[in-house]
Homo-oligomer: A and B are copies of this chain.
Amino acid sequence: MRVDDLDTPVPVIDLDRVEHNLTKMQRYCDQHGLALRPHIKTHKLPQFARRQIELGAAGITCQKISEALVMAEAGCADILITYPIVGASKIAPLAELARKTRLTVSLDNAVALDTVAAAAHQAGVEIGILIEFDSGDGRCGVQTPDEALALARRAHGNGPLAFRGLMTYPRGPQTVPFVTAARTLFEQAAIPITTVSVGGTPGCWDTHSLPGVTELRVGTYIYQDRATVGAGVATLDECAVHVRATVVSRPTPDRAILDSGSKTLSSDRVAPSVGDGFGLILDYPDAVITRVNEEHAVVDLSRCAVKPAIGDRVRILPNHVCVVTNLHDAMAVTRGGELIGEWPVAARGCTR
């Protein structure tokens, strides 16, 4: 079957571009002495996690225990979970995971630390700890180096836990001031910080300019998307996933309906400076997807000199590719423009 014959809507991966993106990022990290720890949330595919490790990644990053279990069972031997794990229902699955891989967990509070400690006890193996700090993003993270030290001490004295360092997401303006102050404080306390991990594709290419940072976590870089192109860190030619959709209706001269709604593209937007609408139609860049319902994309063609006909197929660059991956049970895969298969998205829907 050719890619043009696939039933639509369908997300399509370009393996050549994936390989280019993976190699380019590994080379950047190697050049600057940074450990690369790719976040698998973007692809959710064991095939790509293994390839990232083959190319030199220090390990992988996961957000949830359930997706880490998929990756551990696929052979990933070193996993960081960048999410505070809290509560009794998490202890048994975290212990199961800790028996299968070298595990590190980031957290910003004592309840999460005690949950992880209980899992380490149950598993009978060491679990590493990174303390998450807020570098300006306003999501998770301790607010001061003193808070980080208190948590590190609590980990340090807690048998099966191994304090390993600090992490933040992405890498806001407070990154360097926080790390600098924390290094001084932790040295005085004789607690070594071996890892300082930052994240996010949008700021990735100047990670080497952040003194004290040792590790880069990036996810979107494998596929890139409209948001990262808009952020100036990738080109359109580096985007490795598009959604193929069909024009199913042309109710008026200036309106088209595509079979790719929010169940296919998500409702995620990009910054107004990056563009309008719910994805970029690569074949009709002047068209705007003004609205998505679950199965419909409503397209304004008023600025298009040439307009698509009913039955035509179009390629859409998603605004945010990570959430697209999570919507689909399988992705079509191409190499050299040829369809080579459909891969099940093994870690799709892993919210726990």
- What residues make up the interface of A, taking CB atoms closer than 8 Å to B? 5-10, 41, 63-64, 83-90, 93, 108-109, 111-112, 134, 138-143, 246-252, 255, 257, 259-260, 262-264, 266-269, 291, 293-296, 298, 310-311, 322-323, 326-329, 349, 351-352
Contacts and interface: CB of A to CB of B under 8 A. Distances in A.
A213 to B, nearest CB: 21
Nearest to A313: B87
Contact of A109 (B141, B310, B322): B310
A295 B64 contact: yes
Given A262-B268, A295-B63, A141 B323 contact: no
A252 B263 CA distance: 35
A89 B140 contact: no
A139 B296 contact: yes
Given A9-B352, A294-B63, A310 B112 contact: yes
B63 A248 contact: no
A5 B89 contact: yes
A83 B327 contact: no
10 contacts: A7-B89, A8-B89, A86-B246, A86-B249, A87-B311, A108-B251, A112-B248, A138-B255, A139-B296, A262-B323
Contact of A293 (B84, B139, B329): B139
B248 A84 contact: yes
Contacts of A262: 266, 268, 323
Given A5-B89, A310-B109, A138 B298 contact: yes
B311 A111 contact: yes
Contacts of A311: 86-87, 111
A308 to B, nearest CB: 12
A111 to B, nearest CB: 4
Contacts of A266: 262, 266-267
Contact of A111 (B10, B259, B310): B310
A143 B252 CA distance: 8
Nearest to A250: B109
B267 A267 contact: yes
